[in-house]
């Protein structure tokens, strides 16, 4: 993918939602600043992100202004089928060959109501390999983040090194298209989609 095609894809994805089965990925905008700041300040999220500052609407607005000036980054709000904001996720530092997934923060209580984190990850990876045609996706995770590390293994990621994130060592994981096998994981989404059609709470 050329730089021009990459920028065009970023612009398109920033303008339209990605429709899932239990959640949708909605292009991130100013209306999400307050909820995003609140969730990023939750103790567990701050630790996993190694965030040493208090996130605010002002800091999110400042970040968003810079975000709009570059075309290698797509951030989404994760919303349920009832339009309930539950978190954020991103694909960023996108080049012609590689992108990084991250910024996944989901409300710890709402996240227990369905396979929202899993479907968000599956959607982002599908975008990476289909829309952008990337050769690999990387991600960095704290070694102590057992839940995220377990999910990444299930998605097909393998550890390929270590990276410092604001001075702290994080595991560096890599996924190539051949190792991304979402069919089995989609059975989890199938189950919850059937529950939704039976009017059970998502």
Residue 185 placed within a domain: yes
User: 80 phi and psi, to 5 degrees?
Assistant: -75, 175
pLDDT of residue 12: 96
Residue 202 lies in a domain: no
Average pLDDT over residues 126-146: 96
Instruction: Decide: 147 and 198 in contact? Cβ < 8 Å.
Output: no
Question: pTM of the prediction?
Answer: 0.93
Which pLDDT score is estimated for 198? Answer: 61
pLDDT, one tens digit per residue, over 86-101 is 999 999 999 999 999 9
Structural domain contains residue 13: yes
Residue 112, in any domain of the structure = yes
Q: In whole angstroms, what is the distance from residue 147 CA to residue 111 CA?
A: 12
Share of the chain above pLDDT 70, in %: 97
Judge whether 178 and 158 are in contact, CB under 8 Å. no
Q: Specify if 201 maps to a domain.
A: no
- Domain residues for 75? 3-195
In a domain, 36, yes or no: yes
Instruction: Kindly indicate the confidence band of residue 110, based on its pLDDT and cuts at 50, 70 and 90.
Output: confident
Q: Which has more pLDDT, 108 or 178? A: 178
The pLDDT, as a whole number, for residue 141 is 96
Q: What is the CATH number of the domain that holds 62?
A: 3.40.630.30
Which residue would you say has higher pLDDT here, 142 or 82? 142
Q: What is the pLDDT of residues 37-59, one digit of tens each?
A: 999 999 999 999 999 999 999 99
With a cut of 60, say whether residue 201 has pLDDT above it.
Answer: no
What whole-number distance in Å separates Cα of residue 55 and Cα of residue 181? 36
- Residue 168 in domain: yes
Position 202 scores a pLDDT of 47
**What is the number of domains present in the chain?**
1
Of 191 and 128, the one with more pLDDT: 128
Is residue 9 one of the residues assigned to a domain?
yes
Q: Measure the CA–CA gap between 165 and 19, rounded to whole angstroms.
A: 32
């Amino acid at each position: 993918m050329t730089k021009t095609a990459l920028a065009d894809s970023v612009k398109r994805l920033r303008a339209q939602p990605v429709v899932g089965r239990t959640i949708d990925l909605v292009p991130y905008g100013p209306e999400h600043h307050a909820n995003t700041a609140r969730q990023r300040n939750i103790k567990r999220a701050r630790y996993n992100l190694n965030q040493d500052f208090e996130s605010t609407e002002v800091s999110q607005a400042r970040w968003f202004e810079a975000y709009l000036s570059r075309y290698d980054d797509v951030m989404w709000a994760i919303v349920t089928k009832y339009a309930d904001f539950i978190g954020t996720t991103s694909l960023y530092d996108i080049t012609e060959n590689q992108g990084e997934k991250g910024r996944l923060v989901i409300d710890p209580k709402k996240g227990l109501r369905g396979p929202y984190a899993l479907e968000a990850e599956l959607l982002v990876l599908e975008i990476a390999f289909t829309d952008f045609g990337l050769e690999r996706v990387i991600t960095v995770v704290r070694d102590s983040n057992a839940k995220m590390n377990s999910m990444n293994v299930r998605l097909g990621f393998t550890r390929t090194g270590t990276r410092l994130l604001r001075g702290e060592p994080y595991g560096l994981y890599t996924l190539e298209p051949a190792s991304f096998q979402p069919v089995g994981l989609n059975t989890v989404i199938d189950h919850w989609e059937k529950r939704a059609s039976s009017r059970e709470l998502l």
